[in-house]
Amino acid sequence: MRLRNLSHDKRRRPLLIVSVLALLLVLALALGGCGESHPADESGTKAGPGPEETETVSVEIARQGATGYSLVRSDLSGSADADVKSMVSLRRAIEEKLGVLPDIYTDYIGAGGTDERECEILVGNTNRPQSAQCASNLEAGTWRICMAGKKLVLVSDRDVGLVFAVDYLIEHYVKQSGFSVPENLDVRGNYSVDYTFTYQKPQSGAAKYDDIIAVTTLQGLYNRQSGNLLYVLGGDSTNEWFGTFTKEDGWLKDRTFESLNEVGQVFDLVAPLLKCAVIWDTNVPATVNVATTVAGVEDGVVLTRESYDRYKSHLPADLKIISLEGKFDGSVTGSAKNDAYRWALHEYLEKGLCSKDFICYYVDSFYARNNGDTAYISLRDWSVYNRAFVVDLSPWGDETPFDDRTQKVGTDLETLKMILQTQKNLLEGKSTFEFCGFFNFTKYSKNGDNTESKNDPVPTEWETVYVISPYGGYQNTATEWCWNQSVHSKFEGGTYENNRPDEWMTLDNSPQTVYLSFFMADYDSTYPLYTYLQRYWKDPMRGKIPLAWGINPNLADSVPDVIDYYYRTKTDNDYFTSDASAAGYFNPSRIPSEMWEMVTEHNREYFEKFDMTIAPMVLDWDKLGPEALEAFSKFSYDGLATIIIDFHGNGGKQAAPFLYEDTMVCDQLYNNFSTESVDRGAEAVNQIIRTQAGTGKARFGLVRCVWTSPTFISEVIEEVKAQNPNLNIVVVDIYNYFELRRQQLSK
């Protein structure tokens, strides 16, 4: 990986365009003087301007222990500039191969400078006329190496291209038996560069919000259209993943990145791809989502009127402007918010112009813009990249949302169901889709200023899944602050192998025996997988005890490289399962009969890809019915456990543990594990033990641990053992856990 001061982009091998004068590699001859010419060796290829071939002559630049050439770069360049670094790389390569260090000079001539020499290697934009001569008529994204008299010249349309020119020179000439080049050398090559962007402006509030959404929507278009990459360094997690993937074993290691630090530079980079600018109405917060939908379909950038005026000079003069200002006033539904989404529904989704794989549930600007909250604009590259429909509506039909109190009760839910039904119709019942994102707690539940809401946050989460499941939707809940999904998704993974126990245990059914298995939970969505698990994965106790890590495999659509990293770095004691509920968060009891074949195939595909066979946290309103059990037995055949909560009060119940054919179905996924202190955690486990006392059988506990470190789990285990010296407490991997429960039921 190379990092250059301009931006992030993937590096490819140059595509070489060689002039009609053939390149020769010749054996080094005795150095008789600076740049002495020699006829080509018989092994060299001869070429000439006409039918009659003439002998090509070579120039010796350096041989073992000696050179008459000096390296020259611009006096205006600093140590961090590409020409200086490229020159240093070339000098080091010459030293390693030939044992000689060429002198290094700047091109400054005058007091304190060095006179121009006859024999020089000119790297980059120097003041020598040969540099300008060689650089004339260079096309974008190209470099050139040529001999101009006694001078060897390396130039590029931009400094970053010198990296590729120097690499070519080293590979094809310096590494040979002697550093000689044809007298008429003229080589041209193409290069490809990716970019990083770091936001460095001091702005906060609305200005920051406007800048970041412009950058991320431009990013989504660039990563979809250009063939190169734009990666935003947005904070600790994004920067750390960038470092991980650009290391020696990372998939970005062979790419060259330039860093951009100004929003205007991003506009300049993406401007050739832009077809429109979409200006949203800051008086109607929902229009930021509508504008994002339009930008994805129409290849545009999302702007406010203020940010449009700020960056207008960076946009093509004839760019199409789509303004949503003043367009929605509630005249259709009584709600400007719902008018906006229904317009987008009719103009884009119903016409099949949006993604059939994703609907993005992204928080609009109601609170976020004035606070400069980038949580749900940091990921707009993903929706634009996929041309996804973007929406933010309440799942509740029993009260008006906090952000739109004057609407008729249930209008949000009615519009949401219209969108979901349209998506289902477009898919013709043949495929599922991901509903990616989370509701705003304060707008749609009792939280913060919204003290009068009838609905608490957790039931609101469950209600969202309840609503989307019958349409073939499954949720990827927390996606906020997940930058660069349009980059991560380009990683092409391989074949994955999960861990299995080295040996299967035999049940000790004594009532003094307690089998515990710890499920490291709530990595079912992008944000905790991207941020929290990254933190806990480094814990020094990981690998000391068997732990099951819940990762929903459908996240491979957006962050496959992140999942690949966890699989590559697992220990023998790390086991992977799904999280809520399988390959995506859905309610099995809400799936219509005619959709089960499709849902089964969706889950089986992802489970097989990641060698998963256990679903230890199936969330539902009632016990699993026959169709659900049959489906899960086909992809989660080594076991499943459920959490049943009937928030609607319709009589939903948890079934007792049982075997469905040979699949263990379990209810004991304990959901009250405390991470406040080791004592509280131990008390939660002790409660599990106590509730099964008096059965005359071995006791079991599958303990759900939300965002918890292996060290904490280890300390809790030791405390539980110390408090229960008369019990045989055995910590088992999750595969043996379900196997032992199966054995107990079989008895």
Question: Among 429, 448, 437, 335, which residue's Cα sits nearest to residue 389?
Answer: 437
Residues 705 and 520 sit within 8 Å (Cβ to Cβ): yes
pLDDT score of 61 more than 70: yes
* Residue pointed to by tokens 């906060």: 204
Question: How many CA atoms does the CB half-sphere of 345 hold within 13 Å?
Answer: 18
Q: Tell whether the model's pLDDT for residue 523 goes beyond 50.
A: yes
**Paired tokens of 169:** 């020179």
| Angle at alpha carbon of residue 558, lines to 555 and 562, rounded to 5° | 70
447-482 pLDDT tens trace = 999 999 999 999 999 999 999 999 999 999 999 999
Residue 78 is predicted with a pLDDT of: 86
**pLDDT at residue 203 greater than cutoff 80:** no
**Number of continuous H segments (helices) and E segments (strands) in the chain:** 23, 32
pLDDT at 4 over 60: no
- Quote the tokens at residue 185: 């050398």
The mean pLDDT value for 697-725 works out to 96
Q: What is the rounded average pLDDT of the residues 628-653?
A: 96
Scanning 428-553, the segments in alpha helix (DSSP H) are 441-444, 457-468, 485-488, 526-527, 533-536
- At 457 the three-state DSSP class reads helix
What does the alpha-carbon distance between residue 139 and residue 342 come to, in Å, rounded to a whole number? Answer: 47
What distance in Å separates the CA atoms of residue 211 and residue 683, rounded to the nearest whole number? 49
| CATH superfamily for domain 2-41+54-190 | Chitobiase/beta-hexosaminidase domain 2-like (3.30.379.10)
Considering only CA atoms, which of 261, 242, 260, 259 is closest in space to residue 250? 242
Contact between 516 and 703 under an 8 Å Cβ cutoff? The reply is: yes
Strands 57-63 and 37-39: antiparallel
Q: Could you tell me the two tokens for 577?
A: 């399962």
Distance CA 635, CA 620 (A): 18
∠ at Cα 717 (711, 720), nearest 5°? 140
Give dist(CA 33, CA 15) in Å, integer: 34
State pLDDT tens for residues 284-296. Answer: 999 999 999 999 9
- Please classify residue 643 by burial: count the beta carbons closer than 10 Å to its beta carbon, then call 0-12 exposed, 13-18 middle and 19+ buried: middle
* pLDDT recorded at residue 302: 98
Cβ-based neighbours of 402, under 8 Å, separated by 6 or more: 442, 443, 444, 449, 450, 453
Instruction: Please say if the pLDDT value at position 10 is more than 50.
Output: no
Amino acid identity, residue 410? Answer: G
Q: In this predicted structure, what is the pLDDT of residue 136? A: 92
CA distances from 659 to 96, 469, 652, 654 (A): 68, 26, 20, 14
Q: What does the block give as tokens for 271?
A: 């401007």
% of residues, the chain, pLDDT over 90: 82
> CA-CA distance, 122 to 90, in Å (whole number)?
11
Q: What's the pLDDT tens digit per position in 170-189?
A: 999 998 768 999 999 999 99
User: What is the full DSSP assignment across 581-618?
Assistant: SBSBB--GGGS-GGGHHHHHHHHHHHHHHTT--EEEEE
Report whether 340 contacts 286 (CB < 8 A): yes
What is the C-alpha separation between 730 and 546, in angstroms, rounded?
Answer: 11
For CA atoms 263, 264, 268, 270, the dihedral sign is positive
CA distance 424 to 734: 36
Q: Are 727 and 514 in contact (CB under 8 A)?
A: yes
pLDDT tier, 90 (very low <50, low <70, confident <90, very high otherwise): very high
Omega before 581 within 30 of 0, i.e. cis = yes
- Residue 75 pLDDT > 50: yes
Q: How many CB atoms lie within 10 A of CB 224?
A: 17
Does 8 have pLDDT greater than 60? no
pLDDT at position 1 is 47
Label residue 54 by pLDDT band (50, 70, 90): very low
DSSP state of 273: G
Arithmetic mean of pLDDT over the chain: 91
User: Who's near 656: CB < 8 A, 6+ residues apart?
Assistant: 667
The CA R_g of the chain, rounded to the nearest whole Å, is 32
What b/e string do you get for 476-503 counting C-beta neighbours within 10 Å, with b at 16 or more? Answer: bbbbbbbbbbbbbbebeeeebebbeeee
Whether pLDDT at 190 is above 60? yes
What is the pLDDT, as a whole number, of residue 19?
35
Residue 669: pLDDT over 70: no
Q: Name the residue with higher pLDDT: 718 or 493.
A: 718
Instruction: At 25, give phi and psi (nearest 5°).
Output: -115, 120
Distance CA(615)–CA(621), nearest Å, equals 17
Using DSSP's 3-state secondary structure scheme, residue 20 falls into coil
Q: What are phi and psi of 36, to 5 degrees?
A: -65, 135
Closest CA to 652 of 625, 672, 671: 625
The reported pLDDT for the residue numbered 57 is 84
SS3 303: strand
And the tokens for 188? 């041209």
pLDDT per residue as tens digits for the range 212-269? 999 999 999 999 999 899 999 998 889 999 999 999 899 999 898 999 999 999 999 9
271 pLDDT exceeds 50? yes
Q: What is the mean pLDDT of residues 79-85?
A: 84
Q: For the segment 355-395, what is each residue's pLDDT rounded down to a tens digit?
A: 999 999 999 999 999 988 999 999 999 999 999 999 999 99
Range with lowest mean pLDDT among 31-35, 349-353, 618-622: 31-35
pLDDT value at residue 37: 57
Q: Is pLDDT of 26 > 70?
A: no
What is the DSSP secondary structure assignment for residue 390, as one 8-state letter?
E
pLDDT (mean) for 76-84: 85
DSSP 75: T
Angle at 50 between CA 47 and CA 53, to 5 degrees: 40
Q: Where are the domains of the chain?
A: 2-41+54-190, 195-488, 513-746
The closest alpha carbon to 545, from 508, 505, 517, belongs to 517
- Residue 655 gets which letter from DSSP? P
Bridge partners of 642?
Answer: 618
Residue 17, pLDDT > 50, answer no
Asked whether residue 546 carries a pLDDT value surpassing 80, the answer given is yes
Please answer whether residues 22 and 276 qualify as being in contact, where contact means their C-beta atoms are separated by less than 8 angstroms.
no
Confidence check: pLDDT of 444 > 90: yes
Q: What is the reported pLDDT for 114?
A: 85
Pairing of strands 320-323, 276-279: parallel
Query: According to the CATH classification, is domain 513-746 in 3.30.420.40?
Result: no
Confidence grade of residue 111 (pLDDT, cut at 50, 70, 90): confident
pLDDT (tens digit, 9 = 90+) per residue, 146-156?
999 999 999 99
CA nearest neighbour of 682 among 673, 690, 691: 673
CA distances from 409 to 59, 331, 404, 444 (A): 84, 16, 10, 13
Residue 678, phi then psi, degrees to nearest 5: -60, -40
Pairing of the two strands 194-197 and 120-123: unpaired
